[in-house]
Structure 1
């Protein structure tokens, strides 16, 4: 796709923008920021002067013999707040946006594609076959609502909707995120006959590098892309085959070459050739993993959803299958290939153990498991450079090990000592109409006996607050917990620590307001809450702690409080 139409990557617009002299002479050509300053790296999309500049720049490329021009804004949520651009805007929420400050994340598709379309219209008067490629990404992934859009059919769109769930298929009735992505793709294909998909050949965009095979998803998605009219794909690659296992890689390559591939026959041939006598148990191993992901009720694209998938039952099935495969393997090649899978399973097993240690606030142990994952990656990488490789290590095992050591320092180290673990389960109640703070749900004497129990070690999404289509509850949730504080904490300052709360939190201790953690999008970790509650705490007595939590993003997969909380003193 890149060779045919160019790659409109992040910040490629900078190669087309006017220079610093034009920025000084014509600041109105550039995007107006919310604070009133101008952004020299983003266009004002309603500026006729900037449109004229781009027309001249693109025409120069056409005269030089180029068949296409390709550009797109910086990564993130760039926009122009001027009156002209806001008049073009349709005010739609962006995919996965929050309604706490919707303007920041509102769709910018109308403004951006008005700009690109205006440039293309003018260029095509002189060069009728010249094409412009840009991306439908971030706040531009929703198809625009523009009259007479793309009249000359020379627009090329690289579609990249990275907020969507990466676990299910486009036609899964239980996953609104993937159904919506499919609907967006179909509309893009109606507006433009040159649409291609920027995709990922790994599952979790934020990962601890456990195995997440996706044959069940690819065998349905790739044929649908062709059916809907997509031209093709450009896959961002993590060259680490342990993230999906070899079968997923094989199936992806085969289907991208020929969507009519007989996937079952392909896999049967692979298992027989690769594992030999161990083929049957290794097929059972991957079937168990595929089934766990295909049938899971969680939705998301970051590893916070995985605890609901790697259940003890699933891990037990995997262990049984891998042990059977080890017994059956006889030839050196069979033993070598099964040994590779065993190492990947051991990595998964230790990840599950790390997560269990975190739930029990055994932070030194959790850090040890995280560091062990790093060592296992090195061992796999020594076997093959296609395993244990981290080109994009975002919140990976190294980050987790560092975080666990920091928590250990608060609970049994130089920064403090553990005073008490908060209960894993809290009394909880949704508050869609914001009644709680007026009815004083934060007061110690409030009767919460009819409230349900929610675990604080996973989001509310998997605890009865997701509908049959995969929509999780968006709004306020109250959590009430009681904790006994020892009498011998005199002289210490007592701190409340909640390692992970999405997206915003207010806290009361024994009915007294303790503080507020400002709204933060879940992609920016850690989402911790840390408050000095010394004046409110009552040593030697039972204390009541209340959280009021707002989550207004339903594409993360872990809403509300999702890691165990504790009190520490220093």
Structure 2
């Protein structure tokens, strides 16, 4: 029976149900074991804090007591099983009143595959019980599922995010519920204040997530390899233990991957760590580590010759050895470490990560059976589901995950829940993508998630964050759709129809766009005027339908979401028009909307900051609102007379030509008298691949290579001695500049996500005042297809320095 049907049954008094509260009078008591009843310590959920089994069970009983009172006004008693209890009982956890429970998972192993619970109602007894062996919250999960079936919802953290039905009579139907999770690992983390972290930890537990990462599987953190490296003093006496940098110098933080002694010494430190923890009473069942973030690599000649295969990972560029994949040599090294550790601790699970230049599954490497892999595909598209025909990135991502699960039985994901890794927090909902992806991940044997997130809900939306948690427990599309419909009904009330259409309209736009990516540099071309018009119509209907609280406030969140998107588009329209002062004003309006959103709930939005840990709370810590505000004001000052004066700004459309063979420099395509009559014109504020035939395939594979943009500018007369500079705000990823047949200079390669990507050259000696000036820019996209470089993304201009 589907849960939506169960909810209808629960609220109907019938012969096959137990009455918990009748007409505001409690009919049942909550019974716990005497050991649980005797617990005096209160429990405050927090990241890494799970308490004892008795504390967790008592907390479960208190949650039932708390929400029954919120629903009915009646506070049920919690009593010890030492008492002789007559009449209806809610048994929470194991006690003398609980008999044999069929299908109840028990025990705990290093595989952490024993989670689950049972809810059983027979006559006048409801039994709520689960596996409470550390670190499991089985009984607590059973308690929140019991409350969920009574209609309680926790859509987001804090009281603001909960929905509690009001009823004077509460009944629960006879029957059994047995639940086991789809995924063993169900976590994400983000930077947040202590208070908000505690509220979110409670919300996670209420939605059957986990809050202690290292209690479920070993987390292979970046740079954690350093604590197991051979002592740094050995760089002098035994340099052969250490990796080499490209220039031949020693890297003290990376081992020589082909040196067996290096692997043995790392294993010895792992063994010593496990022994030391055992002496403190801590039983280490799994341990993880990874090399430094970035693209760590062992350039030792022997490693490159014997183990390195020369594959290019998706984050790297063809032909640049420092950006090659090291999956083969890294995981062969890890095999050696695991082999040594297994001699002393045969059951210890050793984890590392498939991330950055180790994300490709290794070829012809049989992973040690004691290993686990955390796969972090930071390069991948965050817009479309795995099976979408428009996203080669999503298709490859799933294919590689499937391969990982074929060579390792403990594959878990490190997803990036901040959908745009560079963002201004405009809406990018994910519910449809999650409903497809999570069942697919379950089908291939992925064991779960340890995701990176940001605090603000405003980017992916409340529904997406809620559905992510729900699908981690039960990855079923049909049930997920029912849960999503239930969310809209309970959160929006009479405005549910228009609210669901509002968010679906955004998500359909995001999914069906031809663009791929995970940075908001694509969003000015994803959102459009038609989308904004449709959203305005739907939001107005929401506002009209929402006739009371809390629905008015919930609809206001959608209104602010839309207004933020409008301002975002206005920012970029003015930027592309060269009106940087107006762009800055619209950034300030976005900040105001964000503050209004945060006033409703700090979980929706946090103020931007550039200081301390607080800079991460806002979610836009790189190239965020404050960074862009500074940039727009700086550029405006260059053309407004403050630090400079605009001489001439190029039109948006200019002459353009692909240079697939890289011939243009030798053939002097930059020359003023070169015949460009057959060249096309493109808009310099729109990525070239959206305009040039054949530059972008139907599944999103972009052209990579060289291209030319040629500008012809009528330059006015200038004062003698006036310094003139050429400026273009965004040119991705590398550029060479000529002016009036003379070479000006080279703007170095920058990864496509980096902002700003300006060209800024002194062209005083090259300019011809009072004449037509020819500026030719040879742009290279870089050789990494996943970066999807745009070429020009803004208007070039000349300005006189004040």
| Pair in the same fold by TM > 0.5 | yes
Residue 267 of structure 1 deviates from its aligned partner by: 2.4
Q: Name the structure where helix makes up a greater proportion of residues.
A: 1
Say whether residues 1:93 and 2:309 are aligned partners. no
Structure 2 unmatched ranges of 5 or more: 1-184, 186-212, 607-617
Which residue in the other structure is 1:144 paired with?
Answer: 362
Residue 242 of structure 1: SS of its match in structure 2?
coil
Q: Is the 8 A contact 2:734 2:747 kept in 1?
A: yes
Residues 1:203 and 2:434 aligned together: no
SS of equivalent to 1:344: helix
Which deviates more, 21-30 or 507-516?
A: 21-30
CA separation in 1, counterparts of 2:415 and 2:450? 6
Q: How does 1:426-505 map to 2 (within 5 A)?
A: 426-464=654-692, 465-505=695-735
User: Residue 439 of structure 1 aligns to a residue in which SS?
Assistant: coil
The answer for the alignment partner of 2:336 in structure 1 is 118
State the SS of the aligned residue for 1:420. strand
> Using the alignment, how far apart are the partners of 1:404 and 1:372 within structure 2?
14
1:429-455 per-position Cα deviation (integer Å, ceiling 9, x unaligned): 111111212222111111212212221
Q: Compute the displacement of 1:481 (Å).
A: 1.6
**Pairwise CA distance, 1:236:** 1.1
Aligned residues: 567
2:602 — aligned with what? 385
Which 10-residue stretch deviates more, 434-443 or 130-139? 434-443
Larger radius of gyration: 2
SS at match of 1:162: coil
Instruction: Check conservation: 2:288, 2:351, Cα contact below 8 A.
Output: yes
Instruction: Give the equivalent residue in structure 2 for 1:74.
Output: 292
| Corresponding residue of 1:307 | 524
SS for the counterpart of 1:157 is strand
Given the superposition, is the C-alpha separation of residues 68 and 516 from structure 1 closer, same or farther in structure 2, using an over 3 Å criterion? same
Kindly state the Cα deviation for residue 496 of structure 1 after the two structures are TM-superposed.
0.8
Aligned to 1:524: 754
CA distance in structure 2 between the aligned counterparts of 1:105 and 1:271, rounded to whole angstroms: 46
After alignment, is 200-209 or 262-271 more displaced? 262-271
State yes or no: 1:223 paired with 2:472. no
What displacement does 1:137 show? 0.4
Aligned 8 A contact 2:711 2:776 in 1:
yes
Paired residues for 1:42-441 under 5 Å: 42-63=254-275, 64=278, 65-87=283-305, 88-99=307-318, 102-147=320-365, 149-150=366-367, 152-261=368-477, 262-389=479-606, 390-391=618-619, 393-441=621-669
Equivalent in the alignment of 1:36: 248
Q: CA deviation at 1:367?
A: 1.4
CA distance in 1, matches of 2:225, 2:296: 12
Paired with 1:417 and 1:289, the residues of 2 have a C-alpha distance of 41
Query: Contact (CA 8 Å) 1:196, 1:231: kept in 2 or not?
Result: yes
The corresponding residue for 1:535 is 765
Q: CA deviation at 1:320?
A: 1.4
| Distance in 1, Cα, partners of 2:320 & 2:581 | 40
**Match in the other structure for 1:4:** 216
> Is 1:423–1:482's contact at 8 Å kept on the other side of the alignment?
no
Q: Considering only aligned residues, what root-mean-square deviation do their CA atoms show, in Å? A: 1.6
Normalising by structure 2, what TM-score?
A: 0.69
Residues 383, 517 of structure 2: 8 Å contact kept: yes
What's the CA shift string for 1:304-324, capped at 9, x where partnerless?
A: 000111111111111111112
Tell whether the 8 Å contact from 1:304 to 1:557 is kept in structure 2 after alignment. Answer: no
Q: Give per-residue Cα distances to partners, 1:513-535, cap 9 Å, x unaligned.
A: 11111222223322111111122
Deviation at 1:123, TM superposition (A): 2.1
Which structure 1 residue ranges, 4+ long, deviate > 3 Å from structure 2?
Answer: 61-65, 488-491
Partner of 2:237: 25
Unpaired runs of at least 5, structure 1? none
Instruction: Give the drift of 1:489.
Output: 4.8
* Shift in Å, 1:62: 4.5
Seen in structure 2, the aligned counterparts of structure 1 residues 54 and 366 have a Cα distance that, compared at 3 Å, is same
Seen in structure 2, the aligned counterparts of structure 1 residues 69 and 264 have a Cα distance that, compared at 3 Å, is: closer
Q: Is the 8 A contact 2:424 2:620 kept in 1?
A: no
Q: Is the 8 A contact 1:427 1:452 kept in 2?
A: yes
Q: Distance in 1 between matches of 2:433 and 2:480?
A: 12
Hey, what's the Cα distance between the residues in 1 that align with 2:498 and 2:235?
A: 65
- CA-to-aligned-CA distance 1:353-399 (integer Å, 9 cap, x gap): 11111001111111122222223222221221101131451110111
CA distance in 2 between counterparts of 1:340 and 1:4 reads 36
Task: Give 1:97 shift.
Answer: 1.5
Given that 2:264 and 2:336 are in contact with CA atoms closer than 8 Å, whether structure 1 keeps it comes out as no
**Relative to structure 2, which stretch is displaced further, 487-496 or 323-332?**
487-496
Deviation at 1:404, TM superposition (A): 0.8
Which has the higher relative contact order, 1 or 2, with Cα contacts under 8 A spaced 6 or more apart? Answer: 1
> Could you tell me how far 1:200 is from its partner in structure 2?
1.9
Query: 3-state SS of the aligned residue for 1:374?
Result: helix
Residues 498 and 530 in structure 1, CA contact (< 8 A), matched pair in contact too: yes
Deviation at 1:157, TM superposition (A): 0.2
CA contact (8 A) 2:752 2:788 kept: no
The Cα offsets for residues 254-310 of structure 1, whole Å up to 9 and x where unpaired, read as 211111143332222222221122222212211210110110001111110001111
- 8 Å contact from structure 2 (residues 348, 370) kept in 1: yes
Task: Work out the CA distance in 2 between the residues paired with 1:230 and 1:252.
Answer: 15
Contact 1:213/1:245 (<8 A) preserved: yes
Match of 2:272, SS?
helix
User: Contact 1:62–1:130 at 8 Å: present in 2 too?
Assistant: no
| Greater Cα shift, 21-30 or 379-388 | 21-30
Q: Deviations over 1:491-542 (max 9, x none)?
A: 3222110111111111111222111112222233221111111222222222
SS class of match (2:233): helix
Structure 1's 542 and 316: CA in aligned 2 closer, same or farther, altered over 3 A? same
Are the counterparts in 2 of residues 498 and 563 from structure 1 also a CA contact under 8 Å? yes
**Structure 1 residues 391 and 306, CA gap change in structure 2 (3 angstroms):** closer
- Separation in 1 of the partners of 2:754 and 2:511? 28
